[in-house]
Amino acid sequence: MLVAFSVAPSGQSGSDGSVHEAVAAAVKVVRDSGLPNRTSSMFTEIEGPDWDTVMDVVKRATEAVAPFGSRVSLVLKADIRPGYSGELDGKVERLERAIDDAAA
């Protein structure tokens, strides 16, 4: 199961409007989980064996952001494909091959 999520506080932020400290707290939870993950400028992706495992990490990451504001916003997208693993990289590898094949 793959989940891409973005979590951020509202109601308070740094003087420049940045939420990087709150996001760093969430990403630390994800990285400490030991599950395969990747963080980009907009989302963090995480891969796990099942719904409960992945959603536990997302919940804890969301809770880590809570002290930074009076509210928390969570955006989540999931790819639920039982029986598959290694898709965090596998999907990108297949895409790159298809692009290379189309260019050849």
Domains of the chain, earliest start first: 2-103 (3.30.70.930)
Contact assessment for residue 66 and residue 8, using Cβ atoms and an 8 Å cutoff: no
Contact assessment for residue 10 and residue 74, using Cβ atoms and an 8 Å cutoff: no
- Cα separation, 73 vs 96, in Å, equals 32
Phi, then psi, of 16 in degrees rounded to 5: -95, 5
Of residues 73, 92, 93, 85, the one with CA closest to residue 35: 85
Q: Can you read off the two tokens belonging to residue 30? A: 């994800």
pLDDT of the chain, 104 residues: tens digit per residue: 999 999 999 886 556 778 999 999 999 999 999 999 999 999 999 999 999 999 999 999 999 999 999 999 999 999 999 999 999 999 999 999 999 999 98
pTM above 0.85, yes or no: yes
